[in-house]
Structure 1
Amino acid sequence: MSGRAPSPVAVDVAVDTQVLGFARRLAAAGVDVPPTRVHAMLEALDVLGAAELRPVYWAGRTTLCGSLEDVETYDRVFAAYFGGGPARPPNRVAVPPVQRLVAVPVDPADVSGDGDDRDAPEQRIATASRIEVLRHRDVATLSAADRAEVHRYVSALLPAAPDRTTRRRKPSPSGPVDARRTVRSMLRHGGEPVELRRHSHGRRQRRLVFLIDVSGSMAAYAETLLRFAHAACRVRPGTEVFTVGTRLTRVTRELRRRDPAAALAAASATIDDWSGGTRLGDELKEFLDRWGQRGTARGAVVVIGSDGWERGGPEQLATQMARLSRLARRIVWVNPHRGYIGYSPSTGGMRAALPYVDRLVAGHSLAAMQELAGLLDSSGREGDRARGHA
């Protein structure tokens, strides 16, 4: 590919949806596309505008390509995704014209964290500078409009679990000699060893399992975590999502809906114990008895979203966490209070669970959600277990 930019063109579907779909297609073609690069492309389009195809092309090529080797694949996927053949960049793409975004002065009150935004227009377009401010704000302090903007970005994340080696082997240019395929090749060539065939173990992504606390103390953060889980369900169809409070509820089917608003509405209608109490130990036991022990948690990356408040005894939670740690490959605990300066795990539930947790991370802001997506997408290979790391 020559790498020439496509000619100008008008656009006609939501820009973030188009960018997310294109990033997935590019990742499927073998290009490493972490969530940070997707957000970089969105921020570039905020500045350049997407009313023409040329800035869309260059915004993606500049942010999504990590090396010169990625450019050829990028050009081919771009041409195939937006129309036209790989030998010639497309002339048209379906995306609606969007308003060019310009930087505006940020009110110091916006940085203070009080979330009071009554004077802002209802349909205000967030600028790149404002999104950068919102990235680090606690979602519990945001106004409804700012929280909706943060949730839109959370829904565009691409969380993915680390992969694992499978027993099944596949043809490979390197690796041990595949005796069976080599002999068959020799027989086809009159017994001459024309080529040594090789194979290697395949790799498969690990299952992601979410256990999200929807009790009263987590009410301000539960929706953000559910939107993150919904993004994971879209990227990895094998993801499982449960809510815990006073009862265990499986909401995987509801969160498989493509539209985030429809998925959250369906999940909310299914959850009967929203903003109730917390019985983490009992609900974790029910999960392990009904689902985890039968294979759902076996070898999986388990994400528990909770502040650790436990109405039951911490002994039960410790016992069930020990069971879970023997089944899961990694346990990531997302505690919104982890993002506060000077935080230390002081609740009985957190102290009981911490010895069995691989990573304790924050979950209070967009930046924390982006960090979590990168953590799940990172290597996290076998042996990477650091119990009680805070």
Structure 2
Amino acid sequence: MAEQLPPDLPENPKLTHNITHFARALRRAGLPIGPGRVIDAVRAVEAAGFTDRQDFYWALHASFVSRPEQREVFAQVFRLYWRDPRYMEHMMAMMLPALRGAQEDRAARSAEKRAAEALLDGAQRELPEPDGAGEETLIEVDASATVSATERLRSLDFEQMSTQEVAQAKRMLARLSLPVKPLASRRGQPSHAGGQVDARRTLRQAMRRGGEMRRIALKKPRPRWPNLVVLCDISGSMSQYSRMVLHFLHAVANTRGQGWARVHAFTFGTRLTNITRHLATRDVDAALAAAGSHAQDWEGGTRIGECLHAFNRDWSRRVMGQGAVVLLITDGLDRGDPDGLEREMERLHLSARRLIWLNPLLRWEGFAPKAQGIAAMLPHVDSFRAGHSIATIEELAEAIARPGDSGEKLRFQADLARGY
């Protein structure tokens, strides 16, 4: 029986050219693709064949995708590039302005805008000419209920932003602040209008005058600034949100006058990593690049319970101090032991003055605390809030200023009590 040889590429090089242009679109969408990967893709298609769409998809996928977060971008660009007319209509409608006509029946999914931006780069973004183009047409637009681009970007999900919107969002986050009020301490400082008598200073002044007491020294409580401790989930499902939040934390750590004594940052996925020293770098891109290279588990799995155990054991006494505020950024999707996770959350809660949990899953209207990890963590936080957009980060500053703010905690605890 003769050995079956793999099919050859056709003599007409159109398919090879299409693969090359497809690779360029992926590179514009953010995937690190060079000439070597394009050659590998052509050889993979030559070996696997190109008659079956599934084989063709996975041959290109194996050549161009190297990280979990790139899968969705690749799928969207592939679907758009390799001739899906209905999908092309959706992409064009999303990229073009819509003053009239039918609106889209659904919002953009994750990575769709980046795919459309990569493939429709340079597309004509003007409305088609109306009937009777030679005649003068007056278009009246009622802008009373429209929302500015900045306001729209504030409420847009980080995962649904295009490449340009992500860059603009990072600039907006860099201008945000996270001020905190000082804590009253037992120690005092001299004050002419203080409400407490400073007995020690009064006696010292009297001893210098032979025991004559001319005036009563006063004091007021010396302000004490708390630490900000951030525990940021960098697993695959949290990758985009974590990057945006870390941009914001870099601005907080490098801006004077916000009140924090120190900002400590930790990332966790399958292990805990201290990236505090990297945030001290003035350039945000260099800081996050160094943090990403130091955290070897970026965009990997999630072991929340084990990572919190490592923090409570090795770092809690060093960085928490008295009155520390802890920000926990995670979706709470943990496959470990829920009892162990609950114990570590309880210990973390007892060590912190306030424990605030930012969860991007709250962006969904139908979210319910059904996952075991979320149900185990929720009772041991002071505030449970969304963290998927610029607006939610701005609301975080207001929540820190309100000691009694619990966010969505009470509502979801009621859901748990009803048996969700």
Give the TM-score of the pair, scaled to structure 1.
0.64
On the 8 A contact 1:355/1:387 being kept in 2, the answer is: no
Match of 2:378 in 1: 354
Change (3 A) 1:295 1:144: closer
Out of 259, 262, 274, which is 2:286 matched to? Answer: 262
Match of 1:168 in 2: 187
On the 8 A contact 1:227/1:260 being kept in 2, the answer is: yes
- Give the Cα–Cα distance (whole angstroms) in 2 for the partners of residues 314 and 308 of structure 1: 11
Which fold has the larger relative contact order, with Cα–Cα distance below 8 Å and residues 6 or more apart in sequence?
1
Q: Does 2:407 match 1:371?
A: no
Out of 330, 337, 341, which is 1:306 matched to? Answer: 330
Out of 357, 360, 385, which is 1:336 matched to? Answer: 360
- Give the Cα–Cα distance (whole angstroms) in 1 for the partners of residues 306 and 264 of structure 2: 19
Deviation of 1:256 (Å)? 1.2
Change (3 A) 1:170 1:121: farther
Q: Does 2:252 match 1:229?
A: no
Residue 165 of structure 1 aligns to a residue in which SS? strand
Match of 1:380 in 2: 403
Q: Does 2:301 match 1:277?
A: yes
On the 8 A contact 1:175/1:200 being kept in 2, the answer is: yes
- Percent identity, aligned pairs only, is 37
Equivalent residue letter for 2:178: P
Deviation of 1:380 (Å)? 2.4
Greater CA drift, 336-345 or 364-373: 336-345
Deviation of 1:341 (Å)? 1.9
Residue 170 of structure 1 aligns to a residue in which SS? strand
Change (3 A) 1:205 1:237: closer
Deviation of 1:319 (Å)? 0.7
Residues 109-258 of structure 1 aligned to structure 2 (within 5 Å): 113-114=107-108, 116=113, 118=117, 129-172=148-191, 173-186=193-206, 193-235=213-255, 236=260, 238-258=262-282
Change (3 A) 1:254 1:113: farther
On the 8 A contact 1:277/1:311 being kept in 2, the answer is: no
Equivalent residue letter for 1:167: R
Deviation of 1:287 (Å)? 0.7
What residue ranges of structure 2 are gaps of 5+ in the alignment? 1-95, 124-146, 413-420
Deviation string for 1:296-325 (max 9, x for gaps)?
Answer: 365311111000110211111101011111
Residue 150 of structure 1 aligns to a residue in which SS? helix
Equivalent residue letter for 2:254: R
On the 8 A contact 1:243/1:249 being kept in 2, the answer is: yes
Deviation of 1:112 (Å)? 7.1
Equivalent residue letter for 1:332: I
Greater CA drift, 365-374 or 107-116: 107-116
Greater CA drift, 200-209 or 277-286: 200-209
Deviation string for 1:71-128 (max 9, x for gaps)?
Answer: xxxxxxxxxxxxxxxxxxxxxxxxxxxxxxxxxx976789975263636889xxxxx9
- Give the Cα–Cα distance (whole angstroms) in 1 for the partners of residues 398 and 122 of structure 2: 33
Change (3 A) 1:297 1:388: farther
RMSD: 3.0
Change (3 A) 1:387 1:194: farther
Equivalent residue letter for 1:347: A
- Give the Cα–Cα distance (whole angstroms) in 1 for the partners of residues 244 and 383 of structure 2: 19
Deviation of 1:176 (Å)? 1.2
Deviation string for 1:222-265 (max 9, x for gaps)?
Answer: 10121122122223461110001001111111111112111111
On the 8 A contact 2:184/2:224 being kept in 1, the answer is: yes
- Give the Cα–Cα distance (whole angstroms) in 1 for the partners of residues 251 and 150 of structure 2: 19
- Give the Cα–Cα distance (whole angstroms) in 1 for the partners of residues 375 and 177 of structure 2: 31
Equivalent residue letter for 1:342: G
Equivalent residue letter for 2:236: G
Match of 1:31 in 2: none
Change (3 A) 1:183 1:147: same
Change (3 A) 1:137 1:113: farther
Equivalent residue letter for 1:200: K
Give the TM-score of the pair, scaled to structure 2.
0.60
Change (3 A) 1:111 1:184: farther
Q: Does 2:314 match 1:286?
A: no
Deviation of 1:156 (Å)? 1.9
Deviation string for 1:323-375 (max 9, x for gaps)?
Answer: 11111111100001113223222221110000101001111000011111232
- Give the Cα–Cα distance (whole angstroms) in 1 for the partners of residues 169 and 329 of structure 2: 18
Deviation string for 1:249-300 (max 9, x for gaps)?
Answer: 1111111111211111111111111111100000000011000144536531
On the 8 A contact 1:307/1:335 being kept in 2, the answer is: yes
What residue ranges of structure 1 are gaps of 5+ in the alignment? 1-104, 123-127
- Give the Cα–Cα distance (whole angstroms) in 2 for the partners of residues 111 and 201 of structure 1: 59
On the 8 A contact 1:335/1:360 being kept in 2, the answer is: yes
Greater CA drift, 288-297 or 180-189: 180-189
Deviation of 1:166 (Å)? 2.2
